[in-house]
Structure 1
Amino acid sequence: MSERTSLKRGQLGTTALVFMIIAASAPLTVLAGGAPTNFAVSGLLGLPLSYLVLGVILILFSVGYAAMSSRIHNAGAFYAYISQGLGPRQGIAAALLALVSYNMLQAGLYGLFGFSLSAAIFTWTAVQLPWWLVGAIGWLLVALLGVSNVDFSAKILGVLVTLEFLVVLIVMGYALFNAPEGLSTVTLRPNDFMAPGVGVLLAFSIAAFMGFESGAIYSEETKDPKRTVARATYIAVAVIAVFYGISTWALAMGIGPSSIIGEAQQYGPDLVFVWLSQYSPLLADVAHLLFVTSIFAALLAFHNAAARYFFALGRSRVLPGSLGRLGRNGAPVAGSLAQSVVGAGTVVVFALAGINSELGELFPVITLFTWFSTAAAFGLVFLMALTSIAVLAWFRKDHHGFGVFTRIIAPSVAAVAMIIVAILILINFDIMIGEDSPRMMVFIMPGIILGTGVLGALWSLRFDRHTDIHTIADDDSLPVRESDPARITTP
């Protein structure tokens, strides 16, 4: 395969890829932003247990997913796997759905980033800057890093993720040594998990894992595609699930199990910083700063994922071939620029829409971030369910040397679980986007996701049903099938 159509090989090892995956899941953002919101909305203490349960489900999903990734290496992971398992036309529909979901998730984060950085600057300097202005600064940095060598982005994300883990560990230490009600397992009891509201709990919690599946997107750029993606995915999912479970348990202990829900409802995403300031105002400021950099790390991680989807679809001619162009450094420059344009356009639209809004400073959080991230979470969970089904279909054609657990049991359980979580998100969509959002958004945002899949299915009709996609095989020179690496062409 020529260098012109392949992402630069051998740039990412297991450690770098783990950091890329964890950066997308944003550990500090989940603890400081997601956990208080989940406690407040669900009204359940079983949040730590929900992360552990979802971790087990995602490990089961990863079994078949990682096995397939050892045989098929493509920057458009969902696209490649669903195409190989269910057919190119289904793959095209899934590809466009994935592309929209990743772009919505990335663009939506600009709302949270802009609001959080603006609030932090005001706290520290008393200078009030509009969210879209600081969001634009973040956009510029992401755009510049997006066209650079992926190894450079991995180093930046590695530093940011390490700092995130460090500050979360410090927060956990303060919580456990200052627990007002002592240490207990009350948040780990099954009856505080399997209770009315568990649907909301799981729907919110799954959003904390978004991005874990991105490991396969970088498979073409890893040092050892047959092993690195699988190894990094397992490590990242296990670390994320355990870390989220322990850190949210510690937070509940630090505030007190009897108080955590009420405090979360009162302070929302500010809960961690308000609580921490009681012990160390300086540490609270540092945590607030790293909260912002945590969001930035997620922005960059999802930008890279979306850019590689643009690249994969351009390379296969599903989208204009110009999107499949690479820079001299081997980065998907055209795809990165396309994603930057999407991000910039989204910020401009919401900046104009927010002028004189009744929501005030919270406008970008309640609208741009909440609407887009919730819809994207639904889209990606739906895609994971389809991918599990595709794994089953792919292994049915050829066992590829894997056992029954990998081929049938794990992907079957994962498919059922993902379908259930997707339904839970739809059922609780109105709760997840909040009462301040217009009622019509309950139908519009999921409609965009489902509508994209339908449009993708219609778009696929213009391509040859027997065509293959551009993939890299285990020997790094041959496609997965015996035919030449194909471009999707019109009949």
Structure 2
Amino acid sequence: MTELTESLHEDVPLAGEKLKGNLGTFQIALLVIAAAAPLGAVLTAAPIGFQLGNGAGLAGTFLIAGFLMVCFSVGYGELIRAIPGAGAFYKYLSVVFGSRVGAGAAWVALASYLAITIAVAIVSGYYTNLTMQTFGINIGWMSWTIVFMALTSYLGRANIDFAAKVLVPLVLAEFFMLFLLGLSIFLDKGFAAFPVQAVSIEAITSPGLGVGLMVALAAFLGVESAALYAMEAKRPEKSIPGATRLAVALVAVAYFVIIWLIVGGIGADAIKGEAATAQGELIINLFSTRIGTTTAALVSIMLCTSNFACLLSLHNAATRYVQVLAKDKHLPSVLSNIHPQRNSPANASLLVTVLVAACIAVPTSVGYDAFVFLFPVTLALSTLGLIGLQAFISLAVIAHFKKMSDRRYLKILISPLVALTGLSLAVYLIYENYGLLTGSESAWVNGTPLLLIALFFYGVIKGRSNTI
């Protein structure tokens, strides 16, 4: 255990083995926000929450989810300060609970990030093809997915500073378009655009709360990934926890306010029915009626870039898990190699690209519709895995600082305890509604959470012998 702790705390690798970057707090925060895909979450996930979830109460549910994630980020930020270096879930759980538990968590995290990268790659191709069809371009969803994955592969192998230059303006543009929609609703309706009904206990606890909470928390997936960029950040001891808290705060406020305004713009009593009728076109239609058809068309195109930004951010996160696992001998060491010119985890990035491509190509080649068959399963699996790990990290915060006899109770006890309770409840609700998320009645499909359990115990069994 002592050797493991020393290895995990070592921040100065040998020359040529270190990832390099010049990321600041704001850049890292936007890289993290890109994984949350604000525009994509509002345009594609929110209608599902309105229709299948608790309707107007989704606004209040996003408030609860945002509060839980803020509590999570407070404790998580303190853990990042206390345990410096790269590795995120893997590193922190290894230090707090031992190498075996850390290795098990790392395999669950890697599987979850690969699953959500697959899901986003599929949805990127589908939505881009649908959007381009309106402009007379129809090359098929698979062609667009190949284009996105080729770009992701190139940028994933480049230095992270270059990737940040691509992602940052895309994320800022997403926020700007959501701001325009919210402003147009507010200027039309004034403070009536914020209906109290949408944040009432009655609306929040109405039928469908479980689905609404799943949608809301899924919109925050990836917010913990800032710690994966520790070796590529300026002053990581400050920029990483700062970026995590900034990302969570910005996303929480933006989601809550825009969802509340959307409820006000459509009407609290009408939102559920409108979502059932318009489904995925609900928010695009709102853009069209509020700001104009030209803006709605632009937003449709920006949804494609939002999905791409999300894909690249998630690819980078999965890549860094592969690189760290390979560095600690859980995967072939060649995957830990750093590109000599780009200072990037190029081999790990290539593996992630190949795995994602294979997982999409194989079922598609034998006749399965990837959007119908694969997308729901990978999204549900990744949601369950990552939220479960967030709950585990909240427990790690409490355990670690109890050992240190730290008395900052608000940051290292109360906040993580609230997050642990709320996220654990969310894991239960996701598991209970797993069939609804996957849209399948197959025992094989709905039994996929067992894969995460199997991977965790595989890591537990193999972790000790493979760790340096």
Q: TM-score range by the shorter chain?
A: over 0.9
Secondary structure in 1 aligned to 2:119?
helix
Amino acid at match of 1:110: A
Q: Distance in 2 between the 1:413 and 1:273 partners? A: 36
Secondary structure in 1 aligned to 2:286?
helix
Aligned to 2:322: 310
Cα-to-partner distance string for 1:451-471 (whole Å, 9 max, x where unaligned): 2212222322534xxxxxxxx
Offset of residue 25 of structure 1: 0.5
Q: Are positions 1:372 and 2:378 aligned together? A: yes
Q: Are positions 1:348 and 2:358 aligned together? A: no
Secondary structure in 2 aligned to 1:94?
helix
- Pick from 396, 407, 413: which aligns with 2:412? 407
Offset of residue 228 of structure 1: 0.8
Q: Are positions 1:170 and 2:175 aligned together? A: no
User: Is contact 2:197–2:268 with CA below 8 Å preserved after alignment?
Assistant: yes
Q: Distance in 1 between the 2:298 and 2:434 partners? A: 34
Aligned to 2:397: 391
Q: Are positions 1:62 and 2:65 aligned together? A: no
Cα-to-partner distance string for 1:182-201 (whole Å, 9 max, x where unaligned): 53222111210023321221
Residues 1:386 and 1:281: Cα distance change in structure 2 (over 3 Å) = same
- Pick from 460, 465, 468: which aligns with 2:463? 460
- Pick from 163, 176, 193: which aligns with 2:204? 193
- Pick from 435, 446, 450: which aligns with 1:447? 450
User: Is contact 2:360–2:370 with CA below 8 Å preserved after alignment?
Assistant: no
User: Is contact 1:131–1:364 with CA below 8 Å preserved after alignment?
Assistant: no
Q: Are positions 1:76 and 2:79 aligned together? A: no
- Pick from 25, 30, 42: which aligns with 1:19? 30
Aligned to 2:110: 99
After TM superposition, the score normalised by the length of structure 1 is: 0.88
Q: Distance in 2 between the 1:242 and 1:15 partners? A: 17
Offset of residue 178 of structure 1: 4.5
Residues 1:90 and 1:202: Cα distance change in structure 2 (over 3 Å) = same
Q: Distance in 2 between the 1:188 and 1:445 partners? A: 34
Aligned to 2:307: 295
Offset of residue 87 of structure 1: 0.4
Aligned to 1:420: 425
Aligned to 1:148: 158
Offset of residue 402 of structure 1: 6.1
Cα-to-partner distance string for 1:370-427 (whole Å, 9 max, x where unaligned): 211111010011111111222222223324x662333322222222222111111001
Offset of residue 448 of structure 1: 2.0
Q: Distance in 2 between the 1:304 and 1:154 partners? A: 11
Amino acid at match of 2:281: D
Secondary structure in 2 aligned to 1:142?
helix
Offset of residue 326 of structure 1: 0.5
Offset of residue 366 of structure 1: 3.0
User: Is contact 2:377–2:445 with CA below 8 Å preserved after alignment?
Assistant: no
Q: Distance in 2 between the 1:432 and 1:177 partners? A: 36
Consecutive unaligned residues of structure 2, counting only runs of 5 or more, are 1-11
After TM superposition, the score normalised by the length of structure 2 is: 0.92
- Pick from 131, 152, 155: which aligns with 1:120? 131
Cα-to-partner distance string for 1:155-196 (whole Å, 9 max, x where unaligned): 111110011011111222333345599532221112100233
Aligned to 1:225: 236
Cα-to-partner distance string for 1:130-165 (whole Å, 9 max, x where unaligned): 211110000000000001110111111111001101
Aligned to 1:268: 279
Amino acid at match of 1:134: W
Q: Distance in 2 between the 1:173 and 1:284 partners? A: 15
Aligned to 1:244: 255
Q: Distance in 1 between the 2:141 and 2:196 partners? A: 40
Offset of residue 45 of structure 1: 1.3
Offset of residue 442 of structure 1: 5.0
User: Is contact 2:391–2:419 with CA below 8 Å preserved after alignment?
Assistant: yes
> Which runs of at least 4 in structure 1 moved beyond 6 Å after TM superposition?
none
Greater helix fraction, Structure 1 or Structure 2 = 2
Offset of residue 277 of structure 1: 2.7
User: Is contact 2:336–2:348 with CA below 8 Å preserved after alignment?
Assistant: yes
Q: Distance in 2 between the 1:311 and 1:73 partners? A: 17
User: Is contact 1:132–1:347 with CA below 8 Å preserved after alignment?
Assistant: no
Aligned to 2:293: 281
Offset of residue 51 of structure 1: 1.5
Consecutive unaligned residues of structure 1, counting only runs of 5 or more, are 358-362, 464-487
Aligned to 1:216: 227
Q: How many residues align?
A: 453
Aligned to 1:6: 18
Q: Distance in 2 between the 1:58 and 1:193 partners? A: 18
User: Which range moves more in the overlay, 270-279 or 243-252?
Assistant: 270-279
Aligned to 2:6: none
Cα-to-partner distance string for 1:348-381 (whole Å, 9 max, x where unaligned): 124224x3x6xxxxx4333322211111010011
Offset of residue 208 of structure 1: 0.2
Residues 1:275 and 1:403: Cα distance change in structure 2 (over 3 Å) = closer
Q: Percent identity?
A: 30
Q: Distance in 1 between the 2:139 and 2:450 partners? A: 34
Q: Distance in 2 between the 1:140 and 1:287 partners? A: 23
Residues 1:72 and 1:277: Cα distance change in structure 2 (over 3 Å) = same
Q: Distance in 2 between the 1:43 and 1:340 partners? A: 37
Q: Distance in 2 between the 1:111 and 1:227 partners? A: 36
